[in-house]
Structure 1
Amino acid sequence: MTILVSDGGEFRVDCHVKVLDDRIVERAKRAGLDAIVYAPHFTRLPEIRERAAAYSSDDLLVVPAREVFTGPWSDRKHVLALGLDDPIPDFISLEAAMAEFERQGATVLAPHPEFANVSLTEADLHRYADAIDAIEIFNPKHLPIHNRRAREIADRLSAPPFTSSYAHLPSSIGAAYTAFEERFETEADLVEALTDGVPRRVVYKNGWRRVRTTAAELAHLGYENTWQKVDRFFLSGMEATHPQHIAYDGRFDDAGVY
């Protein structure tokens, strides 16, 4: 397999991945990535930070983040946050999540806008335009119409773009990435660049790999929303990121939607 080498004048980031192990790190390096943003589902921030630190190195920066699931299952609005200091649960209102991001001074990204029932709508993006630091304009899980709509929304809002593999599967790593014009050394550097709108380009490849990645990720989405959901919410008990979990010490009880 060919190993791609990142250009010395840019910094390549897969801005949203769900999986992390030795295979992921190796694939990321082979794809020429300099960093990945690790934001697994239903995992508390301390655990994410610990795992990210364990796999981060001089060759690949692993940045911890949280994709917070706001709202009920029928109308989920996912929001990706970097630079968090304190844990935030899932299943709270969008208003409560955005207020907490603001309190912590987090960098806020809008992944897969207007996609299915799991995303911020254009109306949401207009409402929180001043708080959202970038909008995802390409996602391999999307069909072309979804990516086109995301680009149009970002253009209308004059919002900085980003992309990611949104990898739930190891094979998706590096399918798309954001290339910044500046080099970064730390998590704080990348978070600041996203907040400040540092110039970047969105990079992805069309062709057979794109089709294969989209098909595989959509199939996994179907699994997530059927059998995995049944196991997680009906057989496994309270979710670790539920707002009433003891880990949150009652701070989000009033904001919970369940």
Structure 2
Amino acid sequence: MHVKVLDKRVVSRAKSRGIDVLVYAPHFVRLPDIRARAEEFSDDELLVVPAREVFTGPWHDRRHLLVIGLSDPVPDFITLDGALAEFERQGAATLVPHPELLNVSLSEAQIREHRDQLHAVETYNAKAFSKHNRRGREISQATGLPGFGSSYAHLRSSIGEAWTEFDQPIESEADLVTALTDEVDRRVMRRSGVGHTVRELLEFAHLGYENSWGKFDRLLLSGMEPTHPRHIAYRGAFEDVSVY
């Protein structure tokens, strides 16, 4: 339900682990580019669905949302209310990844406040520790939102460590959006054992890179991100809800 990497090795690993659908949502990449790459790696055995993990709010207090089924690009660093209104306008499925993880996730209070605009809460994330996943399950139960699970793979080795099984076929992006927005029954599945624990730890270690050198590179070396709300590609459409 949520991977950050996509190439031939990722596709091969997904197929070997019995995965039928990958939701591909890399950071700071515009939707048309994500969609093109998803189409490139989709075939009769594996569907790659394009998605965005949108960073709402300012960098120091950003709240992530995983959005599937967007027809038009939406930038990062816009207000939470502005983002949710746009997702709703486009009829997309809006999911809460890694709830209450550090300063990058929605809190239970925020999820309750926006319950009618959300469609699922992550209850198992292979990059998170047990206490975080337990908290996700608690929030899912308390709010009545269905759960979902993902590898949240930033590393190829994590592909297939966790997945979501739906009680109906998913053969297109539209099928997945419908399954999510209609709250179709599903099961959150994961691997176990020493190998799974090692891969979880490697993923968590990668989080340290993302929030140290990776963050420094993004902020100071790379210039304006392609998904910045003031980027020329958005033609000023999000000026009123931009936080920068």
Which TM-score band applies after superposition, normalised by the shorter structure?
A: over 0.9
Q: Secondary structure at the match of 2:240?
A: helix
Please give the secondary structure, in 2, of the residue aligned with 1:242. coil
* Aligned partner of residue 228 in structure 1, secondary structure: helix
1:118 corresponds to: 104
Letter of the structure 2 residue corresponding to residue 120 of structure 1: L
Residue equivalent to 2:173: 187
1:43 aligns with 2:29: yes
Quote the offset at 1:119 in angstroms: 0.5
- Is residue 218 from structure 1 mapped to residue 201 from structure 2 by the alignment? no
Rounded to whole Å, the distance in 1 between the matches of 2:123 and 2:170 is 23
Displacement of 1:35 in angstroms is 0.4
Runs of 4 or more, structure 1, over 3 Å off, are none
Query: Hey, what's the Cα distance between the residues in 2 that align with 1:194 and 1:186?
Result: 13
Aligned: 1:100 with 2:100: no
Q: CA deviation at 1:209?
A: 2.2
Q: Partner amino acid for 2:105?
A: S
| 1: CA distance, partners of 2:32 / 2:109 | 32
| Cα offsets for 1:81-135 (capped at 9, x unmatched) | 1110110000111111011111111111111001111101111110111111111
Which residue does the alignment assign to 1:249?
A: 235
Instruction: Report what 2:142 is aligned to.
Output: 156
1:173-208 deviation line (CA, Å, top 9, x unaligned): 000000111112211111111111111101012221
Structure 2: segments with no counterpart, 5+ residues: none
What pairs with 1:200-239 in structure 2 (closer than 5 Å)? Answer: 200-239=186-225
Identity level (%): 60
1:32-73 residue CA offsets vs partner (Å, 9 max, x unmatched): 000000000000000000000000111000000000001112
Does residue 47 of structure 2 align to residue 23 of structure 1? no
Instruction: Report the residue type matching 1:135 in the other structure.
Output: V
1:16 partner SS: coil
Q: What is the DSSP-based 3-state SS (H/G/I as helix, E as strand, rest coil) of the residue aligned with 2:2? A: strand
User: What does 1:26-175 align with in structure 2 at a 5 Å threshold?
Assistant: 26-175=12-161
In the alignment of these two chains, the number of paired residues is: 244
Deviation (angstroms), 1:74: 1.5
Alignment partners' CA distance in 1, 2:96 and 2:26 = 16
Q: TM-score, normalised by structure 2?
A: 0.98
C-alpha distance in 1 between matches for 2:165 and 2:73: 29
CA distance in 2, matches of 1:56, 1:178: 19
Alpha-carbon shift at residue 214 of structure 1 (Å): 1.8
Q: What one-letter code is carried by the residue in structure 1 that aligns with 2:93?
A: T
Tell me, in whole angstroms, the C-alpha distance in 2 between the residues paired with 1:173 and 1:230. Answer: 27
RMSD: 0.8
Quote the offset at 1:254 in angstroms: 2.1
Gap runs ≥5 in structure 1: 1-14
**1:178 partnered with 2:177:** no
Structure 2: how far apart are the matches of 1:209 and 1:135? 26
Q: Which amino acid aligns with 2:201?
A: A
Deviations 1:211-246 (A, max 9, x none): 112211111111011111111221111011000000
Secondary structure of the residue aligned to 2:116 is coil
Name the counterpart of 1:3: none
Name the amino acid aligned to 1:153: I
For residue 204 of structure 2, what is the amino acid of its counterpart?
L
Q: Aligned partners of 2:108, 2:49: CA distance in 1, in Å? A: 27
* 1:28 partner SS: helix
